[in-house]
Amino acid sequence: MSQLLRKHLEEIIPLTNAEFAYILSFFTERKFRKHQFVVQTGNSVNHDFFVLEGLLKAAYLTESGKEYILQFAMENWWISDYDALKNHTPAASDIVCIEDTHVLCLTAENKQKLCAEFQPMEHFFRIKTGTGFIALQKRLLSFMMQDTQARYQQLFETYPSLFKRVPKSMIAAYLGVSRETLSRLSAG
């Protein structure tokens, strides 16, 4: 199962067996059930998570109970409350399993240590964070510039497999529209 991480890393850095074993020793493995909280608003955040199997969401609840989804994560994706993880502040989001989920966990300390001791991993995270930054700029632009129909279409085309696995109400919370608006879009 951890070979999924190796394949993922090797898209950016070549690794020997010994190097991968060394990297893997910095991670711990955990399984969560559907609906289980991996991170909970107000609590401290200790890990970055790499998804081996399953599906999660990072969600924000307003005081009136409305949910907004900042991020989904499925196989090969990383997820955490990065602000809380970096700045040792309480989590501002809930990270919750939408399916039974199997992750590899990396503490902030271990990430720092691994990067310092083995430069290819520092390189990996620099490149990966840069890719995430670019994807996030595109998502922000689509919020600024596109109407809901175009955002829906773009999400559908970029991540077709998400649509099969995520309830429509969560797609609506990701796009920042009501469930009713989404129904009109998906019918269109």
Residues contributing to the site for a copy of itself (CB under 8 A): 60, 62, 68, 70, 82-83, 86, 115-116, 119, 122-123, 125-126, 129-134, 136-141, 143-145, 176
Q: What's the CA gap between 112 and 26, in Å, rounded?
A: 10
Report in angstroms how near the CB of residue 41 gets to a copy of itself at its nearest: 13
Minimum distance, C-beta of residue 116 to a copy of itself, in the bound complex (Å): 8
Q: How far is CA 41 from each of CA 49, 110, 135, 176, rounded to the nearest angstrom? A: 16, 23, 25, 20
- Give the nearest distance from C-beta 75 to a copy of itself in angstroms: 21
Question: Which of residues 59 and 98 has its CB atom nearest to a copy of itself in the complex?
Answer: 59
Which candidate, 155, 146, 161, places its Cα nearest to that of 186?
155
Tell me the C-alpha distance between 54 and 105, whole Å.
Answer: 14
Beta carbon nearer to a copy of itself, 133 or 160: 133
- Pairwise CA distance, residues 127 & 8, whole Å: 13
The torsion of the CA quartet 9, 13, 17, 22, rounded to 10 degrees, works out to -70
Q: Which residue's CB is nearer to a copy of itself, number 21 or number 141?
A: 141
Nearer Cβ to a copy of itself (21/116): 116
To a copy of itself, the closest distance from the beta carbon of 182 in angstroms equals 14
Q: Tokens 């595109």 identify what position?
A: 138
